[in-house]
Amino acid sequence: MDISLAAMDDPPTSPVKALATFLIRRHSDQLRSIAHSPDPKLHYPLFVEFAELMDDDPPLARLVFSHPTEYLRIFDDAAVWAHKITLGDSKGCINGIKKDFIHVRINVAGSPLEWPETSPSIGSIRVKHRGVLLTLKGTVIRSGAIKMYEGERWYICRKCKHKFPVYPELETRNSIQLPSFCPSQRAKPCEGKSFECLEGSVVRHDYQEIKIQESTQVLGVGSIPRAILVILKDDLVDLVKAGDDVIITGVLSAKWSPDIKDVRCDLDPMLIANRVRRTNELKAEVDIPDDIIMNFRQFWSDFKDTPLKGRNAILRGICPQVFGLFTVKLAVALTLIGGVQHVDVSGTKVRGESHLLLVGDPGTGKSQFLKFAAKLSNRAVITTGLGSTSAGLTVAAVKDGGEWMLEAGALVLADGGLCCIDEVDSMREHDRATIHEAMEQQTISVAKAGLVTTLSTRTIVFGATNPKGHYDPDQPLSVNTTLSGPLLSRFDIVLVLLDTKNPEWDAVVSSHILSECQQEKGKRDNDLSSNWPLTMLRRYLQFVKGYFRPVLTKEAEQIISSYYQLQRRSAMDNAARTTVRMLESLIRLAQAHARLMFRNEVTRLDAITAILCIESSMMTSALVDSVGNALHSNFTENPDEEYAKQEILILEKLKSMDEFPDIGR
């Protein structure tokens, strides 16, 4: 360690001096904060904009881009040199502590390096990209253990006493190759071949390998997503976990594949990371300008007298290619918005995410809703039950280079987003049981190959399934779908879509489909009262989800409580659905509806809408006699008048219970 510092006391070379001058001039605040940090053994990042370096010194910026392996190391030396100058400045940091490890992290955003040639997709990486500064986007699918490796070692020539550093080669699995003769640049070459390692000169670094896979949204037709190994060092380790979306800037290199008998040894590409940026937070906080929020407020002020008409205008934007299905569209909106997570004094969490299951005959639009919900969510994973195993859904233990590590499955990758599982009935019973914990406790406990851990899965599960044979309304849902009671009770809403032969409905639907085909694609209406495009709908759902935290009023609490007790008494066939989870589902749906209605208070309207949603998922209704088929539910002309009738009907039924005579007064 002392050797490297002694070397740093030598006069810097011209590139080091130029880069140090740039850092002092542009990033003195960061240098001061590093100097004031208490721990001298830590590795500190210093963030530099490549666009700034381009403006300040274009030739130097070009060298950093074209020879990053050499010049990023020089940049780190320049950062340490600039830090020492800042530390020695009497006006600067008198109480600062000298740091030996400062790493410059290059941000290419807003610079020419964002063009496609230097930001290729993972699948289009070729040999020509080797040795330049690259930027890759993808999702972390595997996160390895944090290890330690020798980053540099100092040697002394026994003949001329010249000291020089030797760096390990990542390509040859971090082995150190000594030079064939002394590298001293003197007038008379030394040509010594005997070197001695200096004691205490070894610098060790933290080291982690992760694997990133290109996002399926940007793939071409028929393409399979490719993956690449990424090396994280020092302050970059443990920044990301499996399932995170990342943008990584680094240098493309290669390493020899493991030696396996009778298998040809190849060079596997890998990226040595310089900067890692998680985009999960960027995606979660969708950029919503103030004028868009003003549009939302103006929209609700226009519909102040008829709020349900405004709500239905929003719901029409969900899956517009499917005609009608008002109940399903409302259920999709409430599921995506979700309720408020509750944490009690002991730390026990009650989930805020809702789950939705669509049970329906073929051709009732289940998969269409799944695909559209995935578009509305910022983070979504779509999978099919037939091709999903328990390891594929939760987490798999894989062996890589003689070491076991965990690879994230669909539910872990969808953490903080939406997991769509089509054809749930096709999954094996054993595989279905693995998602029980993920749906209710929102964690996955793993004990595989000596790896014991718990992963978080704060995800919305959106399932679709076909009934087993012909749907029999007299039989309970678990018999009709072959899904177990514990799994059904975890879904907040279960909607049954039966394709009954209805001539009037068929005529209306066929005319809608034919008119959709004839519509001109160029016509777009920006008026929110009649048309909510996908981008606006996504922004609205994200805004209400992050901005509002609704609280239940006393009246809403009383209505929900009395309805829950009524269901517990009346539902004999459907015992799997009428558990305490149903009460939590009612609260979540009422909160989600309050958010959808742009409010911070759960009123009677929200409680009764939540009851109507639950009633739609009950085949044997306890309150509303005319529930009907969710497939034939349509948007009414005057939803507020229709709601007033339903409210009177429900309150009358609940008032007839002796225990709650005050409801509705």
Confidence of residue 51 (pLDDT cuts 50, 70, 90): confident
Q: Which residues pair with 626 in a beta bridge?
A: none
**Six-digit token string for 531:** 């048309």
Looking at residue 536, its amino acid is M
Q: Is it the case that residue 83 has pLDDT exceeding 50?
A: yes
Which residue has 């407020």 as its token pair? 297
Specify the pTM.
0.74
Looking at residue 363, its amino acid is G
Confidence of residue 5 (pLDDT cuts 50, 70, 90): very low
Three-state SS letters, 319-362: CCCCCCCHHHHHHHHHHHHCCCCEECCCCCEECCCCCEEEEECC
State pLDDT tens for residues 383-392: 887 767 777 7
State pLDDT tens for residues 464-520: 888 887 777 777 777 778 788 788 888 888 888 877 777 777 787 777 777 766 654
Confidence of residue 601 (pLDDT cuts 50, 70, 90): confident
Confidence of residue 370 (pLDDT cuts 50, 70, 90): confident
Mean pLDDT of 405-428: 81
Position with higher pLDDT, 609 vs 652: 609
Start-to-end Cα distance in the chain: 80
Mean pLDDT of 143-162: 81
Which residue segments constitute the domains of the chain, with CATH numbers given?
14-107 (3.30.1640.10), 127-284 (2.40.50.140), 290-656 (3.40.50.300)
**Six-digit token string for 622:** 């306890």
* Helix/strand/coil for 456: strand
pLDDT at 552: 87
**Six-digit token string for 573:** 């066939």
State pLDDT tens for residues 224-278: 888 898 989 888 888 887 777 888 999 988 877 666 677 777 778 888 899 998 8
Q: Which residues pair with 573 in a beta bridge?
A: none
Confidence of residue 90 (pLDDT cuts 50, 70, 90): very low
What share of the chain has pLDDT > 90, as a percent?
0
pLDDT at 518: 60
Of 98, 128, 108, 118, nearest in space to 37 by CA? 98
pLDDT at 577: 63
- Structural contact between residues 269 and 227, judged by C-beta atoms closer than 8 angstroms: no
Q: What is the dihedral of CA 348, 350, 353, 355, to 10 degrees?
A: 120
pLDDT at 530: 66
Confidence of residue 658 (pLDDT cuts 50, 70, 90): very low
- Alpha helix ranges (H) inside 495-638: 503-518, 534-547, 554-570, 580-596, 604-616
Please state, in angstroms and rounded to a whole number, the distance separating the CA atoms of residues 187 and 365.
81
Please state, in angstroms and rounded to a whole number, the distance separating the CA atoms of residues 207 and 236.
9
Confidence of residue 3 (pLDDT cuts 50, 70, 90): very low
Please state, in angstroms and rounded to a whole number, the distance separating the CA atoms of residues 233 and 400.
19
Helix (H) / strand (E) element for 435: namely helix 435-440
Confidence of residue 622 (pLDDT cuts 50, 70, 90): very low
Q: Which residues pair with 231 in a beta bridge?
A: 209, 272
pLDDT at 363: 77
Burial class (CB in 10 A: 0-12, 13-18, 19+), 524: exposed
Residue 160 per-residue DSSP state: T
Please state, in angstroms and rounded to a whole number, the distance separating the CA atoms of residues 460 and 335.
8
What share of the chain has pLDDT > 70, as a percent?
85
- Structural contact between residues 455 and 446, judged by C-beta atoms closer than 8 angstroms: yes
pLDDT at 287: 64
Q: Is it the case that residue 522 has pLDDT exceeding 50?
A: no
Looking at residue 429, its amino acid is E
Please state, in angstroms and rounded to a whole number, the distance separating the CA atoms of residues 564 and 578.
8
- Structural contact between residues 438 and 457, judged by C-beta atoms closer than 8 angstroms: yes
pLDDT at 315: 85
Measured between alpha carbons, how far is residue 594 from residues 252, 529, 600 in Å? 50, 19, 7
Measured between alpha carbons, how far is residue 264 from residues 183, 257, 374, 630 in Å? 35, 9, 42, 59
**Six-digit token string for 607:** 């409680």
pLDDT at 490: 84
Residue 385 per-residue DSSP state: G
Q: Is it the case that residue 347 has pLDDT exceeding 60?
A: yes
Please state, in angstroms and rounded to a whole number, the distance separating the CA atoms of residues 554 and 604.
9
Confidence of residue 656 (pLDDT cuts 50, 70, 90): low
- Alpha helix ranges (H) inside 57-170: 58-66, 68-88
Of 609, 605, 604, 574, nearest in space to 589 by CA? 609
Q: Is it the case that residue 625 has pLDDT exceeding 70?
A: no
Please state, in angstroms and rounded to a whole number, the distance separating the CA atoms of residues 414 and 461.
9
**Six-digit token string for 571:** 């539902």
pLDDT at 621: 43
